[in-house]
Homo-oligomer: A and B are copies of this chain.
Amino acid sequence: MSNIQKHKTTVAIYGQSYVIMGTESPSHVRLVGSLVDDKMREISYKNPTLDLSKLAVLTAVNAVNDYLKMKDQLDHLQTELLKEKD
């Protein structure tokens, strides 16, 4: 059994409600939801014929791509920091 508190937060993304369960604070979950909503609207604006599921999959592709770029930067900085500490 864990003592970590779980929150249940409802967020609106692209006109639909989602209940998100997790240890993150409701305000963090709302921020994540609003970023996903923004990304979906941006991709939909550029590709107006996409159906909802394709739009959502491409939004996930976009987010994972951003994640990998950020991870590369982090790996690079960690190497640099190790050199500085030597």
Interface residues of A (CB under 8 A from B): 11, 13-14, 16, 18, 20, 24, 28, 31-33, 35-36, 39-40, 51-54, 56-68, 70-71, 73-74, 77-78, 80-81, 84-85
Q: Is the CB of B14 within 8 A of A57?
A: yes
Q: Please, which residue of chain B has its CB at the minimum distance from the CB of A57?
A: B56
The 7 closest A-B pairs by CB, nearest first: A56-B56, A63-B63, A53-B53, A60-B60, A52-B53, A59-B60, A84-B84
Cα–Cα, bound, A41→B20 (Å)? 18
Additional A-B contacts beyond A32-B65, A39-B60, A73-B74 (16; CB < 8 A) = A14-B57, A16-B57, A18-B54, A20-B58, A24-B65, A35-B64, A36-B57, A39-B64, A51-B53, A52-B53, A56-B59, A56-B60, A57-B59, A70-B71, A77-B77, A77-B81
